Amino acid sequence: MSVRRGSASGTGLALRASGTGLALSGALLLTAPVASAYCRTTTCDPMSPSQGCTIDAEGCETTGIPLYWSGGCTSYSVADDGSKLHGISYDEVQALANKAVAQWMAAKCPGGGNPDLNAQSTGPAECRDSGFNLDSGNVNLTVLRDDDWFYSSDGETLALTTTTYDTRDGHLLDADIEINSQFAELTTGDDGVVDDLESILTHEFGHFFGLAHVNDDAPTMSTSHKPGDTHKRSLDIDDIDGICATYPPKPTGSASDACDAEPRNGFDEDCLPDEEDPSDDPNEDSSSSGGAGDSGGAGNPGNPGDPDANPDPAAPEATNDDGGCAISGAPRRIGTGSAAIALLAGLAAYARRRRTIAKPALKHFDAR
């Protein structure tokens, strides 16, 4: 079974989209820190009245379980075609994605050490499809969409990060980053900067790791972004506090846990669920990719629970939150929101959530 854009199947699988700005993620707490200068994405959808979610004065969700990658272990892949529209090659996108990920992994935590976070590149992906397959291979995809931006006809959305997670413990299962190269004025390098791809990727990987937008202009996870600005390439102290709280450093001298970063059910560079695999067609040459396995991983001190437990069909129903990061003219603003989608009977413990970026006078990072 596969979960595709705009749909969710199952009772409990949550699909959440986050744009330029991560939502609460990390330790298994029923309430996120109230006085922190960072926000994390949680399993609670603030746009669904029935869930009784609360938002504090800083705009952070304070109910629900924060999202996190079990054991701080995950992987990411970049679509192999880059952006022909902007003349940006796969190698350039991959290099910028690596730099963005390294910013978060190498953060200097206030108490010493680095976040207990290990995100590994699995190389190029041949597919461009954002989604999560329940019973076949997956890929945590980063893709630039030159002519197939699905989320807004007016081109106001700059980027979208969609995460799939277990609603019972906040364990992230899949995350996909989509960049609106069709309408954004993407640039790389330090000259003639407009919509800086490195800044966008650094922000979106914040969502990828479980962080949410903050109501402050300085952090990378800020809700606003000015064209020509590159300061979000580097983390602010609030960003560092957030990633270190989500993935607390290991005690000095302790050995690192083994990290099997393979995506849930194995890596599939083609993004094809079993029923769509060309090898199933007798008229096609037999070829398949991906593999069996479980991303698993040992829980870290901030994230208790059993990360390898199978979804429980009797688990509570989950929701689907749409959102994103927006772009626009002068300084660009980022807002938050979410739209719930009921899940069908089968994904008892999953949810999906989206966040994007939009394009008005301020460039927005909207989280619906």
CA atoms within 13 A on the CB side of 317: 13
Q: Which amino acid is it at 154?
A: D
pLDDT at residue 223, rounded to an integer: 78
Q: Which amino acid is it at 191?
A: D
pLDDT at residue 324, rounded to an integer: 65
CA atoms within 13 A on the CB side of 244: 20
pLDDT at residue 15, rounded to an integer: 60
d(CA 78, CA 101): 12
66 burial level (CB within 10 Å; 0-12, 13-18, 19+): buried
Name the class of domain 2-364. alpha beta
DSSP secondary structure, 168-200, as one string: TT-BEEEEEEEE-TTTS-EE-SSSS-SEEHHHH
Torsion of CA 230, 16, 128, 1, to 10 degrees: 160
Cβ-based neighbours of 295, under 8 Å, separated by 6 or more: 70, 73, 74, 173, 260, 261, 262, 263, 264
d(CA 225, CA 195): 9
Nearest in space to 42 (alpha carbons), one of 56, 31, 58: 31
Please state, in angstroms and as integers, the Cα–Cα distance from residue 339 to each residue in 6, 18, 144, following that order.
11, 12, 24
Cβ-based neighbours of 233, under 8 Å, separated by 6 or more: 99, 100, 103, 196, 198, 199, 202, 220
Please give the structure tokens belonging to residue 60: 């952070």
Strand partners, 326: 157, 358
Please state, in angstroms and as integers, the Cα–Cα distance from residue 342 to each residue in 6, 11, 14, 94, following that order.
11, 8, 9, 35
d(CA 282, CA 296): 34
Residue 204 phi/psi, 5-degree rounding, is -65, -35
pTM: 0.74
Average pLDDT per 10 consecutive residues for the chain, totaling 368 residues: 32 52 28 62 82 87 94 96 97 98 97 96 92 90 92 72 91 94 94 95 97 90 86 96 96 80 87 52 32 32 37 34 49 28 35 48 41
Total residues found in the chain within this entry: 368
pLDDT at residue 18, rounded to an integer: 58
Indicate the SS3 state at residue 74: strand
